[in-house]
Amino acid sequence: MLKLYSLFLFLICFLPLESIFGEIKGYKGGTPPKIWILSISIILLSNWLLLALIGSSFFDKIGSKLNRLFYKIPNIFFFLIIISSLIGSQIYVFEHKPLIIDSIVQLFQAQIFSFGQLKAKLPPIHEFFVTQHMLFDDWSENGRCGACRYGWFGQYPPGHSLLLVLGILIKKVWLIPVIISSLSSYFIYRFSKNIFGSEVTKITLLLLAFCPFFIFLGSSYMNHTTTLLLITLSVFNIEIYERTNKRLNFCLFIFFLSLTLLVRPLDAIVIGIVFIPAIFSSFIKDKILIFISALCALPSVFSLLVYNKLTTGEYLLAGYIKLWGAGHNLGFHMSPWGIHHTPLTGLRNELVDLQLLQDYLFEWPIPALLPISVLIFTQKSTHLWFKRLLAITIIFPAFYFFYWHRDSFLGPRFLYSSLIGLVPLSAYAIHSFTTNIFEDKTIHIFKLLKPVKYKHFSTSIFISCLVYSATISIPARFHQYSTGLGSMKIDLVSKAKESGIERGLIFVKSSWGVRIFSRIRGLGISASDSQIAYSHIDHCYLDELVKAKNKEKLEEEISLVKTNIDLDIKPQLKSYKANFDPSLLLDPNRTLTRECTEELKYDLKNNLQDYTNYEPHMRVNSPNLDGDFIVVKDLRELNVNLISLYPNYEPYIFNGESFSKVVQ
């Protein structure tokens, strides 16, 4: 069975997924099968030819010296590379800013926590502040929860945001992901040393130092970083417990695993499943551990339940379920965005992520999972931890198979927590190939050329991959990230002060589509139904409905859309980039009204885009909306309603480049 899995890991690189499944959103960046074949062929042939020409005896001399030199390198050297890379990524790639809405919301939630609150002050007119993954909770229908019933808060569990609070308090929030990921690398190193020995650990550190997936995502504000640290700490402690029988380490295993529930509950469940046999075996041997485990898990579980109660009003109701509805749960059903999640789409999602992992993990010219795949195929390992780590790498995609959403921001991020298995396993495989697994077996193809030892061949390939990634692919990925997402890196406050604005009500000029979506939410339409309407109904027609405040008619249209989705009837809509917004959907059979044409013109200046993203500037707001700047969306004729509520703030329009004063 494992040999079949090893073949699957290798062959997945060559699957033409878009030919099989059609166009896949967010799939850019995957290496095409033809390029993989060419790249693997070049690496294998060039390294074999080099070694066949120079001979094994020469490589033995050089290799043994390099080997001794490598293992003499102090571990601190690799940690310095890791920490320097994390800091450099934060400064030059992220510019100390969150670049995706998930991180923006969690950082804003941290700002709310830093004020000693669970929810921010409820904004006066919701549509100006509408942000994906944020809940406006006025509990107008059934006021539960007493004084906490009003507020504005993020959909996520509180764990990651609570850690970010530490950075906010010292006014260096960018340091938090750097510290978290540095600690992850240290405990992955300690864990790897305990299970595989010092030589494999050295390779583990080398891989982490040149693992762009770990470095780039690890320096971001995403909650995957905290999850990896907590999972690593839990796995590190269960290994110590099994070796020493110290109850403290079992308690720490349960404690850190339960803390993961406060960050990414699904990832905690995956790790828990892997270690169910170990947990029950420990309970049988030492029954007092049952009581100890309950005590260790209680703080996290209790905190999560209470947090849910104080924010959503229900102990077992998470923020993201309250916001998006039951469609956000695992399983095969209509997603909150109006797309049916089926076993086929689940398979597609995980095949995409596993294929992208071959690229993003190490950025090698060969598939990143190839060493693990070859080791599984050629050797039957009886090492317990080899099997456990392999189980982690298998169960993560198996569980996310049931999750409707995926994206590849900074790589296949839903598999990031599996690095606790992937990196040590890769190091173990590389060490096996470059030392004694093949003994002195050789490759001897042409008599004119010298025989090549398998271990020399493996070593040469590994060195080639490292040199390639360090000099070509990692710098290319760095350039891609550092020059991309420019609109998410704009510092609104600095630009305002450069323009002589020290205090103001800033209307961020957003696209027509954003204005439509905000007005839909302003009518009281749920987040899920708003998303379904936006992605399935002609935007010009939507604009007419929301401006007329015809909620009843809009709800009828959304109901019709859901029926059509169930019947697999697709809307006759086309994506138009007339205003440079790829999400703009119009019915080619409908004529644009004068009002809609005018909305498009408002988004342009000299036929160029004249708007920007609101989301990165949302967190400029103080949670109580009493700071020097109040930053909202530009909703054109509705702006006057908000201006009247803030007479002490001078109003301005910001288009991403400059400010213009609002004439009243």
Q: pLDDT by residue (tens digit) across 95-148?
A: 999 999 999 999 999 999 999 999 998 898 999 999 999 998 864 444 444 444
Distance CA 167, CA 153 (A): 19
8 A C-beta contact, residue 227 and residue 183? no
What beta strand segments (E) does 60-217 contain?
134-137, 151-154
Q: How many CB atoms lie within 10 A of CB 171?
A: 7
Tokens at 360, concatenated: 């993003």
Query: Which residues are within 8 A (CB) of 498 and not within 5 positions of it... i.e. 6 or more apart?
Result: none
pLDDT at 446: 60
pLDDT at 443: 66
Which of 310, 315, 308 has the alpha carbon at shortest distance from 147? 310
8 A C-beta contact, residue 98 and residue 616? yes
8 A C-beta contact, residue 162 and residue 110? yes
Q: Report phi then psi at 589, rounded to 5.
A: -90, -5
Q: CA triplet 200, 205, 206: central angle to 5 degrees?
A: 95
Query: Which residues are within 8 A (CB) of 585 and not within 5 positions of it... i.e. 6 or more apart?
Result: 534, 535, 537, 538, 539, 571, 573, 574, 575, 576
Distance CA 543, CA 587 (A): 13
Q: Read off the pLDDT of residues 584-640 as tens digits, 9 standing for 90 and up.
A: 999 998 889 999 999 999 999 988 999 999 999 999 999 999 999 999 999 999 999
Distance CA 142, CA 150 (A): 12
pLDDT at 146: 43
Which of 126, 412, 411 has the alpha carbon at shortest distance from 403? 412
CA–CA distance from 656 to each of 92, 103, 484, 495 (Å)? 20, 20, 15, 9
Distance CA 76, CA 79 (A): 5
Q: Read off the pLDDT of residues 320-368 as tens digits, 9 standing for 90 and up.
A: 999 999 999 999 999 998 889 999 999 999 999 999 999 999 999 999 9
pLDDT at 142: 41
pLDDT at 594: 94
Tokens at 222, concatenated: 């995403």
Longest dimension (CA), the chain: 89
Low-confidence residues in the chain, pLDDT < 50:
139-148
The stretches of 435-550 forming alpha helices (DSSP H) are: 454-468, 474-483, 492-498, 512-522, 527-536, 539-547
Distance CA 117, CA 626 (A): 15
Q: Read off the pLDDT of residues 142-179 as tens digits, 9 standing for 90 and up.
A: 444 444 457 899 999 999 999 999 999 999 999 999 99
pLDDT at 141: 40
